[in-house]
Amino acid sequence: MPFKEGPFTFDKATAATRRNDGFCVYGLWGRRGIEYVGKSTTLKDRLTYWVNNPPGPGLTHFYAEALGNEAQMTAREEELIKEFKPALNTLLK
């Protein structure tokens, strides 16, 4: 898997254990593999949002990767979207 951390269970309890400490990309895993790729500087908050408002059905796990700055985070998100072509991403395909 190209993400450096995970898989983690995609649920409220696991999202609550994450920290909001920097530039991250993440992938949400479902029946067809990586279904959504995103970026955030507040990973805990973003995951909690998605757990409460899933971008699609059947998401079970997530992966994450910390990066050094915003430019790296944006470039990595674009790279992962091009690689996986996640069904739930509508931009950057």
Residue 17: the pLDDT is 94
* Total count of domains within the chain: 1
pLDDT tens, 48-85?
Answer: 999 999 999 999 999 999 999 999 999 999 999 999 99
First to last CA, the chain: 20
Distance (Å) of CA 76 to CA 11, 15, 42, 56: 24, 22, 16, 22
Q: Does residue 22 sit within a domain?
A: yes
Q: How far apart are CA 45 and CA 72, in angstroms?
A: 20
CATH code of 10's domain: 3.40.1440.10
Distance (Å) of CA 45 to CA 2, 3, 19, 41, 59: 23, 19, 9, 9, 17
Q: Residue 16's domain spans which residues?
A: 5-84
Q: Does residue 36 sit within a domain?
A: yes
pLDDT tens, 33-42?
Answer: 999 999 999 9
